[in-house]
Structure formats: structure tokens, C-alpha cells
Amino acid sequence: MTSVCSRMGEKYVFTSCCCGCSLRTGALAIAIVSLVLSTVGAAYGAYVGANGESEGWVDFFIDVVNIILAAILIHGIRTERRELVLAWVWGTAVMVCITIIVGIVILVLTPTVLGAVILLVAALVQIYFILVVRSYAFTLGGPVLPS
């Protein structure tokens, strides 16, 4: 079970990942899964886009951004560079905001709720991932950045 602690005024800081593994291991697993899923998503988005559906290119672009963010996170973890790990946190936070907005727009504009629910659940999972990686960044030391 993930435990939450508060130190030096920081809120929502975990001491371990959901499976009891270290924050570093959890952050690395998040980065690798994100890299793999985004690569598959980008390939599928390009396939759909090449077949004439413009939404495929939008998905492709989003997945390419996620690939870049995952690569930054992996490099940041490997080199223990806090600023790179936090770059992933901020970049992913922006992507989650976009996901939530898209989910709300889908919910308002279409009669189907399933797509919006899937996007919003994915956003909630991503928020947990952000908190895990952010907690790992705090273990790396360095100057405390705004949270």
C-alpha cells in the first residue's frame, strides 16, 4: 500500500509506489509502460491518419509528445537529474489537463459516455503516476521547486 507523508511543507508525497516497490522502481516502471503504450498508440494513430481520419493524426501527435516525455523521464531517472524528472511531471500534468478537457468535450458533444469515461479514468491514473514520480523527484534533493 502506498503511504503518504508530508515533509518540509510538501503535500501528497509518497514513500513508496502502489506495489510496495521503491519510488525509483515505480517511476521507472511508469516511464517504460508509458514509452511502450505511447509507441503503440503513435503507430496506430499514424495508421488511422494515413487512412484518411484526421483524429488519427491528433492521437499520433499526443503519443509522440508522450514518447518524448517518457524518454526524458527514463534519462532523468538513469542520471538522477531532478530537473528532468520534474520536466516529465509538468509535461504530463499539461497532457492530463488536455485529456480532461477532451473528456468533458466528448461527454458534452456525443451521446456516448464510454469514451469520456475512459479518458477521465486514464486521467485519474495519470494523476497518481504524477504524484509517484513527483515524490521520487523529491528524493533526489536539490532546490525545492513550487509544487
Query: What pLDDT is stored for residue 86 in this prediction?
Result: 94
Query: What pLDDT is stored for residue 6 in this prediction?
Result: 45
Return the beta strands (E) in 1-147 as ranges.
4-7, 10-14
Query: What pLDDT is stored for residue 78 in this prediction?
Result: 95
Query: What pLDDT is stored for residue 57 in this prediction?
Result: 87
Query: What pLDDT is stored for residue 114 in this prediction?
Result: 82
d(CA 113, CA 120): 11
pLDDT, one tens digit per residue, over 3-47 is: 444 444 556 676 666 777 888 999 999 999 999 999 999 999 999
State in Å, rounded, how far the first CA of the chain is from the last one: 24
Q: Where are the domains of the chain?
A: 21-138
pLDDT at 2 exceeding the cut of 50: no
The identity of residue 85, as a single letter, is V
Query: What pLDDT is stored for residue 58 in this prediction?
Result: 84
Q: Which DSSP helix (H) or strand (E) runs through 141?
A: none
- The position carrying cell 491528433 is 58
Query: What pLDDT is stored for residue 15 in this prediction?
Result: 67
Q: Buried b vs exposed e over 19-40: b needs ≥16 C-beta within 10 Å? A: eeeebeebbbebbeebbeebee
Query: What pLDDT is stored for residue 142 in this prediction?
Result: 62
pLDDT at 117 exceeding the cut of 70: yes
Specify whether the CB–CB gap between 21 and 2 falls below 8 A.
no
pLDDT, one tens digit per residue, over 66-116 is: 999 999 999 999 999 999 999 999 999 998 898 788 778 777 887 777 877
Q: What is the pTM of this model?
A: 0.80
pLDDT at 135 exceeding the cut of 70: yes
